[in-house]
């Protein structure tokens, strides 16, 4: 005796569980992106309305592409730079230094000048240029 069973292959896939998962993921995504982010409140200082009439000495230190240093257009080495900055700080304790680093220079040379300014305790800033200028 032979038993015949009528088995048909499935011709469709039940996508209901997959849609349920997609809807749950969508709801989680919406909730996570709209959740408020707690941050730190920072009170920034307000500028005074009085223009500053004080003039302080400014030294422009350029780090050239080959690593050479220039102070206000005059070539110097690192020890001469330190001497000049110490002398300038002796004359004007509120003097500042603007550091211009060439884009092709070794970053270590710029860091060396920054470390020197930190050692001497003078205020400094890095001069940047806009891309394309």
Residue 37 in this model has a pLDDT that exceeds 70: no
Q: Closest Cα to residue 111, out of 128, 129, 99?
A: 99
Answer yes or no: is 114 within a domain: yes
Residue 127 in contact with residue 98, Cβ under 8 Å?
yes
Answer yes or no: is 104 within a domain: yes
**d(C-alpha 53, C-alpha 90), whole Å:** 21
Answer yes or no: is 86 within a domain: yes
| CATH classification at residue 104 | 3.30.420.270
Answer yes or no: is 39 within a domain: no
Q: Quote the number of domains for the chain.
A: 1
> How far is residue 63 from each of residues 43, 75, 77, 97, 113, measured CA to CA in Å?
36, 10, 11, 13, 9
Residue 132 in this model has a pLDDT that exceeds 60: no
Q: Closest Cα to residue 89, out of 62, 54, 124, 63?
A: 124
Over residues 30-41, the mean pLDDT reads 71
Answer yes or no: is 64 within a domain: yes
Over residues 32-47, the mean pLDDT reads 70
Residue 101 belongs to domain spanning: 58-127
Tens digit of each residue's pLDDT (9 = 90 or more) over 78-112? 899 899 999 988 988 888 898 988 888 888 888 99
Q: Beta strands 58-63 and 96-101: pairing type?
A: parallel
pLDDT band at 115 (very low <50, low <70, confident <90, very high): very high
pLDDT of res. 65: 85
Over residues 2-14, the mean pLDDT reads 70
Q: Residue 50 gets which letter from DSSP? A: S
Answer yes or no: is 110 within a domain: yes
pTM: 0.56
Q: Which helix (H) or strand (E) holds 101?
A: strand 96-101
Burial profile 98-132: b = 16 or more Cβ within 10 angstroms, e = fewer? ebbbeeebeeebbebbbebbeebebebeeeeeeee
Mean pLDDT of the chain: 82
- Top-confidence residue, 5 or 111: 111
Q: Beta strands 123-127 and 58-63: pairing type?
A: unpaired
Answer yes or no: is 95 within a domain: yes
């Amino acid at each position: 005796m032979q038993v015949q069973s009528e088995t048909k292959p499935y011709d469709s896939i039940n996508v209901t569980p997959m849609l349920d998962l997609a809807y749950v993921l969508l709801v989680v995504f919406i909730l996570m992106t709209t959740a408020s982010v707690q941050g730190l409140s920072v009170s920034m200082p307000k500028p005074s309305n009085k223009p500053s009439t004080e003039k302080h000495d400014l030294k422009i230190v350029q780090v050239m592409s080959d690593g050479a240093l220039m102070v206000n257009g005059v070539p110097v080495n690192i020890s001469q730079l330190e001497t000049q900055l110490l002398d300038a700080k002796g004359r004007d304790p509120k003097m500042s230094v603007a550091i211009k680093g060439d884009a092709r220079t070794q970053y270590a040379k710029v860091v060396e000048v920054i470390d020197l300014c930190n050692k001497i305790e003078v205020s400094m800033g890095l001069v940047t240029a806009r891309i394309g200028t």
